[in-house]
Amino acid sequence: TIDAERLWGSLMETAQIGGTPDGGIARLTLSDEDRRVRDWLRAECDALGLSLTVDEVGNMFATRAGTRTDLPAIAMGSHLDTQPTGGKFDGVLGVLAGLEVLRTLDAAGYQTEAPLMLVNWTNEEGSRFSPAMLGSGIWAGVYSREYGDGRTDPTGDSFGASLDRIGYRGKARAGSVSFGAMFELHIEQGPILEAEGVRIGVVQGIQGMRWFDLTLTGTAAHTGSTPMNMRRNALLGMAQVIEGIDRIAKAHENAVGTIGFLDISPNSHNVIPGEVRATIDLRHPSDEVLDRMQAEVEVLVRKAAQAVGLEYRFEQISRTAPVIFDPECIASVRAGAKAAGYDTRDLISGAGHDAAHAAAKVPTTMIFVPCKGGLSHNPAESTLPGECAAGAQVLLEAVLDYDRR
């Protein structure tokens, strides 16, 4: 049985690293806070005698030997980076619960047949460097290391330079560290488990997600002396796109579509915006629906640019197909929840996860626990100690079940 208090203690201890006054965490990937939480994790892994490998994009893999050396490892993990307005559980729970599983096995003197592996993926949030799930995506071969290194944050700082600066560029080639299966515990980030009073979500898959960079270019000019009919206002065009994305998403059942990020130039009170850059985020469980939405967005962008007299650049920066998780892994989660005595419910994940990239390479699944009001990417994100412990217990049982098969 996992130690609920020890798990909660680790959650609260690491929440101090980048902790914000409103109870959240602002621990952007490859920042100094990210370095500190990575140092903390490394020290804990050392204390457990795990062997740690860091790959060339900063993904951390800590291995506990099994009784057999011919079996690939069973991995557990998630991410320790957060949103600028992140909560205390998104990602962190999956890593610290994995650590708690290893501590529990150590305390019990239990050795699995297969090795166990704890993983901390780099830049899952994609908040500082888009796209999201970049570390696992490079590991899975979806993006090249060069693509990753070249991604820049809004200040122009690059992923590669930031990784070097915090000292977490490992020697292992991305993708060279392998394992045989992956279990990711995560908060639901949706309202269903809480609403139905169910402890454990058995995740069947993840909806597809596509991100696009859109740049609209007009002419920066004086707001006072430039007549309305002589303007090329890039923000006016973007306003039409923001509303259009909302309309398109609402027109497709179960779809979501959002612009959450704008970079406005020069962003001055009395200058007509000359250039505006945005990230467009489209999601749906079906790739065909995503194709249709994408086509509609392309028309929308062209029309808005035309209407306002703007140039535009529209570029796909990521595409994660809908994922269906591995039946055997799912069976182990069901068995684990049963052993631990918790109700379950099948779910599809609305949020993207590193497990999506892992699933393309090895049998993978996820375990969800409730979060208050379905709220995440918000400092008020909340999951109770008992819910965290239940998730960690099911993670432990699922991994042991999978190991026994």
Ligand X SMILES: NC(=O)NCCC(=O)O
Residues that bind ligand X (CB under 6 A): 90, 124-126, 132, 189, 222, 224, 270, 351-353
The reply to whether 184 sits near a copy of itself by the rule CB under 8 A is: no
d(CA 87, CA 188): 13
The least CB distance from residue 48 to ligand X, in Å, is 26
- Give first-to-last CA distance, the chain, whole Å: 20
The reply to whether 216 sits near a copy of itself by the rule CB under 8 A is: no
Which among 8-16, 38-46, 155-163, 216-224 is the span making contact with a copy of itself, rule CB under 8 A?
Answer: 216-224
Q: Binds 124, which of ligand X, a copy of itself, none (CB < 5 to 8 A, cut-off by type)?
A: ligand X
The least CB distance from residue 222 to a copy of itself, in Å, is 5
Spell out the long-range contacts of 66-70 with Cβ–Cβ below 8 A and sequence spacing 24 or more. 66/111, 66/112, 66/113, 66/114, 66/115, 66/116, 66/403, 67/111, 67/112, 67/113, 68/113, 68/114
The gap from C-alpha 378 to its chain's centroid, in whole angstroms, comes to: 14
The reply to whether 193 sits near a copy of itself by the rule CB under 8 A is: no
In the numeric block, which tokens belong to residue 267?
């962003």
d(CA 76, CA 91): 12
Handedness of CA 93, 180, 122, 103 (dihedral sign): positive
- 222 assigned ligand-binding residue: no
Q: Binds 339, which of a copy of itself, ligand X, none (CB < 5 to 8 A, cut-off by type)?
A: none
Q: How distant, in Å, are the alpha carbons of 15, 54, 78, 163, 342 from that of 168?
A: 20, 7, 17, 6, 39
Closer to ligand X by CB, 223 or 306: give it.
223
Cβ-based neighbours of 211, under 8 Å, separated by 6 or more: 126, 130, 131, 132, 279, 280, 281, 282, 316, 317, 318, 319
Peptide bond into 322 cis (omega under 30): no
The reply to whether 296 sits near a copy of itself by the rule CB under 8 A is: no
Q: Which of 142, 235, 358, 398 binds a copy of itself (CB under 8 A)?
A: 235
d(CA 282, CA 305): 20
The least CB distance from residue 287 to ligand X, in Å, is 17
Contact (CB, 8 A) for 125 and 79? yes
The reply to whether 298 sits near a copy of itself by the rule CB under 8 A is: no
The reply to whether 150 sits near a copy of itself by the rule CB under 8 A is: no
Closer to a copy of itself by CB, 56 or 125: give it.
125
Closer to a copy of itself by CB, 120 or 318: give it.
318
d(CA 48, CA 397): 20
Which among 9-17, 69-77, 265-273, 290-298 is the span making contact with a copy of itself, rule CB under 8 A?
Answer: 265-273
Which among 32-40, 57-65, 108-116, 278-286 is the span making contact with a copy of itself, rule CB under 8 A?
Answer: 278-286
User: Which residues make up each annotated binding site for Zn(2+)?
Assistant: 79, 90, 125, 186, 377
Q: Which residues contact a copy of itself (rule: CB under 8 A)?
A: 83-85, 125-127, 130-132, 188-191, 207, 209, 211, 219-228, 230, 233, 235-236, 238-240, 242-243, 246, 249-250, 255-262, 264-274, 279, 281, 283, 349-352, 374-378
